[in-house]
Structures are given as structure tokens and as C-alpha cells.
């Protein structure tokens, strides 16, 4: 038999109801309650935004963050990278700026004695549809052309 959890926002009266088969583990039930309460507060805050443009932008931002969280939980790193790149592009950050950040991170990691390979984050810095490029030497200046 389905179970139900209802969360209400006292400021706005917004109510969110979650119905389903919940795990019996008490900690899981606490997480369901906390997550539902957070989502309810978040929705109430966005819905109480008076300016329509601000409200729409807040909805888009939260939708993207929830998509990132869902992709992370599924372990879909290419989708996480795509969503983060899309968000950064929407913020006006170009592929060239992302490559410069990557180069700076590589140099800083080497300076700290670590591996300059930033591994799974490569998709954030490189356009997946662009042809592969060789990485510049670690001591190359950020504006140095790639070979």
C-alpha cells in the first residue's frame, strides 16, 4: 500500500505531497522528509518571487541543478558535464575561457605536486563535438595556441 508524506510551507501555504512505496529504514524516511521539506521551501521561495523574469530564471536554474543531481546519482558523468557546460555557456563563459581555467588548474595541481590530469572533468573544458586537441605543455602561458 502506498505511503504518503506531506510538506507545507508556513509562509505561503504551499503544500507538496509525495506518495509511493517508501523504504522501511528510518534514516531513509528522514531523508524523504528532509528532501520534501527542502523542495517545498524552495518552490515556495521561487513562487513568491514577484518579478516574472526573475521567477522564470530561478525555475530554470533549479531545474538544471536538479537535472545535474539526478545525473550524478545515476553516475552519468557525460550528462553532468553537458549540463554544467550548458550552464556555464548560459552564464556567458566561452569554450576558450573554460580551456584557460583548465590550464590554470593543471598548473596549480602540478605546483602542488599533484597529478596535472584533471580526469573526469575534461568534458567541462572541451567541446565534445570539437576535434581532439593535444594538451599544451604545463609551462605554456594560458594564451598559448594549442599544437
Give φ, ψ of 19 to 5 degrees: -125, 135
pTM (2 d.p.): 0.66
- Note the pLDDT of residue 63: 94
Q: Rounded to whole angstroms, how far apart are CA atoms 57 and 67? A: 15
d(CA 95, CA 98): 5
Q: Mean pLDDT over residues 32-56, rounded?
A: 95
pLDDT band at 147 (very low <50, low <70, confident <90, very high): very low
| DSSP SS3 for 4 | strand
* Contact of 84 with 68, CB cutoff 8 Å: yes
State the pLDDT at residue 145: 41
Phi-psi region at 119: left, alpha or beta (left = phi > 0; alpha = psi -120 to 50): left
Look at residue 38 and tell me whether its pLDDT is greater than 50. yes
- The confidence score (pLDDT) of residue 64 equals 92
> Count of CB atoms within 10 A of residue 101's CB?
16
Task: For CA atoms 123, 125, 129, 133, give the dihedral sign.
Answer: negative
pLDDT in tens, 92-125: 998 889 888 888 888 888 888 766 565 555 555 5
Look-up of cell digits 500500500: 1
Report H helices in 12-126.
26-47, 52-74, 77-90, 95-111, 122-125
Interatomic CA distance for residues 33 and 47, integer angstroms: 21
46-89 pLDDT per residue, tens: 999 999 999 999 999 999 999 999 999 999 999 998 998 888 88
Amino acid at each position: 500500500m502506498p505511503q504518503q508524506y506531506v510538506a507545507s510551507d508556513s509562509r505561503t501555504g504551499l503544500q507538496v505531497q509525495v506518495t509511493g512505496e517508501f523504504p522501511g529504514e528510518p534514516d531513509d524516511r528522514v531523508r524523504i522528509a528532509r528532501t520534501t521539506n527542502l523542495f517545498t521551501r524552495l518552490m515556495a521561495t521561487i513562487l513568491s518571487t514577484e518579478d516574472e523574469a526573475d521567477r522564470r530564471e530561478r525555475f530554470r536554474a533549479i531545474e538544471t541543478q536538479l537535472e545535474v543531481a539526478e545525473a550524478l546519482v545515476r553516475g552519468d558523468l557525460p550528462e553532468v558535464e553537458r549540463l554544467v557546460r550548458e550552464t556555464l555557456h548560459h552564464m556567458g563563459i566561452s569554450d576558450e575561457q573554460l580551456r584557460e581555467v583548465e590550464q590554470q588548474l593543471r598548473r596549480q595541481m602540478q605546483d602542488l605536486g599533484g597529478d596535472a590530469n584533471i580526469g573526469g572533468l575534461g568534458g567541462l573544458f572541451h567541446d565534445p563535438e570539437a576535434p581532439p586537441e593535444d594538451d599544451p605543455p604545463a609551462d605554456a602561458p594560458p594564451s598559448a595556441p594549442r599544437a
